[in-house]
Amino acid sequence: MPDLRRDPIVGRWVIITTERSGRPHDFIRVPAARPLAAALCPFCPGQERLTPKEIMAYRLQPTEPNGPNWTVRVVPNKFPALHVEGDLDRQGLGLYDRMNGIGAHEVIIETPHHTDSLADMPAKRIEDVLWAYRDRMIDLKKDIRFRYTLIFKNHAASIAIFSGRTSLMAIASWRKIPSSSA
């Protein structure tokens, strides 16, 4: 389980996630010039079996969950920085205040098209993405343990190399976490 630890010098809380070291791109380095093909991307239509079960999806037509024909899709992060299960269990540990890394960590797949970015999308698709952000924030707010939700786009080269896409994430926690090893 990840830890939340309070830095005793500056007083901010950080996420410590040793389990995330097992992510696929930590072991396989693909040159930046050759990202994985869309056919291998777990976030592309037809590859839904490669992700955890979807939390929500917007579809043009009613279809079964966890299948293609979506325009925006949200899934739990397969390698989460925070876990939904458990209690905070705050305690002093030597120099640090620490607690369990309780929160939510989700991936928002903003388009089924592998190479598209938000800037390339028509206004209706951008609207759908923004509604998805809103819907996830409202849903996460229902958990009384979560007081803060951050939606951010990960442009890290290692993430883009792994899937050929940038990653959009939603993290919810008991308070604002300004720094993370995620």
Strand, coil or helix: what is 179?
A: strand
Pairing of the two strands 13-16 and 179-180: parallel
Most trustworthy range by pLDDT among 38-47, 97-106, 126-135 = 126-135
- Give me the percent of the chain exceeding a pLDDT of 90: 31
Return the pLDDT at 127: 95
Confidence of residue 73 (pLDDT cuts 50, 70, 90): very high
Return the pLDDT at 33: 45
Mean pLDDT in residue range 41-62: 91
152 vs 168: CA distance, rounded Å: 6
DSSP 8-state secondary structure symbol assigned to residue 83: B
- The more confident residue out of 165 and 2 is 2
Confidence of residue 156 (pLDDT cuts 50, 70, 90): low
168 vs 107: CA distance, rounded Å: 6
**Pick from 96-100, 116-120, 122-126, 163-167: least confident:** 163-167
Query: 103: buried, middle or exposed (CB in 10 Å: 19+, 13-18, 0-12)?
Result: buried
Return the pLDDT at 54: 96
Return the pLDDT at 180: 47
24 vs 61: CA distance, rounded Å: 33
Q: Residues with Cβ < 8 Å from 8, sequence gap 6 or more?
A: 95, 96, 97
**Pick from 5-14, 38-47, 144-153: least confident:** 38-47
As a whole number, the mean pLDDT across the chain is 81
Question: Is the model's pLDDT at 53 over the cut of 90?
Answer: yes
Question: Is the model's pLDDT at 58 over the cut of 90?
Answer: yes
- Give me the percent of the chain exceeding a pLDDT of 70: 78
Confidence of residue 56 (pLDDT cuts 50, 70, 90): very high
